[in-house]
């Protein structure tokens, strides 16, 4: 009986230790640029996050990856575009005035585990630095907030009367070669959700 109980306890401990090992095996951040708490003097700066293990590379699909840079007033900087190379996620950012900046990031490891966190650094530019203009909302890759405007719908005059015809109405066959409206909208919602999630994370951590 004692031997059987000891074996059961040993099995439970092995299971618990196995779970702990798996839990601690998740990828972790190894380094950032700039370093957290450091003072930076150059702009533009390549802001990067490097992890101990490789990140999830889906062949150019960077959904779930983002780096957001804000100043002390909550203004956003950068293009919203990120680059992924093995263990490093990076983006190039033109900074504004001297002061403190915060970097909020999100990335996905090869095992599917998501890492999101933030760090801060100080910016003390050289005398010839030209401050970049901050943005009131998080930038979206591929969009220029200074020039992009919402698409307008062209009005079409209604037809006064329909031509008479004896033929049966035909149903047009949809063209499946081009992406549908649903596909485009779904893609837009995915990007908006990623940016919105990071913005929410940024606001919660600042509060």
> Does the pTM exceed 0.75?
no
Of 25, 123, 27, residue with least CA distance to 70? 123
Pairwise pLDDT comparison (189 vs 83), residue with the higher score: 83
Pairwise pLDDT comparison (89 vs 184), residue with the higher score: 89
Structural domains in the chain, CATH included, are: 27-147 (2.60.40.1220)
DSSP string covering 39-70, please? EE--SSEEEEEEESS-B--BTTB-TT-EEEEE
pLDDT number for residue 150: 41
Residue with tokens 């699909």: 61
How confident is the model over 91-134, as pLDDT tens digits? 999 999 999 999 999 999 999 999 999 999 999 999 999 999 99
């Amino acid at each position: 009986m004692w031997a059987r109980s000891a074996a059961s306890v040993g099995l439970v401990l092995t299971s618990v230790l196995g779970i702990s090992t798996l839990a601690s095996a998740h990828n972790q951040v190894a380094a950032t640029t700039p370093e957290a708490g450091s003072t930076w003097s150059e702009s533009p700066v390549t802001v990067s996050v490097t992890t101990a293990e490789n990140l999830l590379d889906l062949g150019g699909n960077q959904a779930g990856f983002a780096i957001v840079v804000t100043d002390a007033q909550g203004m956003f900087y950068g293009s919203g575009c990120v680059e992924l190379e093995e263990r490093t996620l990076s983006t190039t950012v033109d900074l504004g005035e001297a002061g403190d900046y915060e970097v909020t990031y999100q990335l996905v490891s090869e095992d599917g585990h998501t890492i999101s966190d933030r760090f801060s650094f100080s910016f003390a530019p050289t005398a010839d630095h030209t401050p970049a203009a901050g943005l009131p909302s998080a930038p979206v890759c591929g969009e220029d907030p200074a020039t992009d405007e919402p698409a307008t719908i062209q009005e079409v005059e209604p037809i006064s009367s329909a031509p008479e015809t004896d033929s049966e109405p035909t149903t047009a066959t949809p063209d499946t070669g081009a992406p549908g409206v649903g596909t485009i909208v779904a893609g837009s919602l995915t990007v908006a959700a990623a940016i919105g999630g990071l913005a929410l994370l940024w606001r919660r951590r600042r509060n």
